[in-house]
Amino acid sequence: MYADYGYGTALARDEHSLSYVFEPAGSNLRILAIDACKYEENDFEKSICRHDGRIKPQTMKFIAQQVADARREGKRIIGMIHHGVVSHWKYQNRVMKGYLVDDWK
């Protein structure tokens, strides 16, 4: 699904999630796509579909390595993630907690 949007030409992919990093052609930019979904906790036969997210410790190591690599090579890096990493309004962590990654604070 995302092959045409960087996944197909990824410089690196995380083995523990669907996170990846790519570099648009002719740019000095790296884009880090961070996957925080809890796929392994879904059980469609029992109608369990998790929508909340968390960044696995192994994925955090992948992210840190990609940031270090980009800095060493003089590249700018932008991260993108579906789930919120900061609360957007005062009570989001109470009312819509599932839209923030676990341990977001």
pLDDT single digits (tens) 44-53: 888 877 777 8
Q: Does any domain span residue 104?
A: no
Q: Does any domain span residue 105?
A: no
> Could you report the per-residue pLDDT of 63-105, keeping only the tens digit for each?
999 999 999 999 999 999 988 888 888 988 888 887 888 888 7
The model carries a pTM of: 0.83
Q: Taking a C-beta distance cutoff of 8 angstroms, is the pair 16, 37 a contact?
A: no
Q: Does any domain span residue 56?
A: yes
Q: Is a pLDDT exceeding 60 seen at residue 1?
A: no
Query: How many domains does the structure of the chain reveal?
Result: 1
Give the pLDDT score at 72: 97
Domain containing 36: what range? 3-99
10 Å Cβ neighbour count for 9?
13
Q: Does any domain span residue 22?
A: yes
Cα 23 from Cα 18, distance rounded (Å): 17
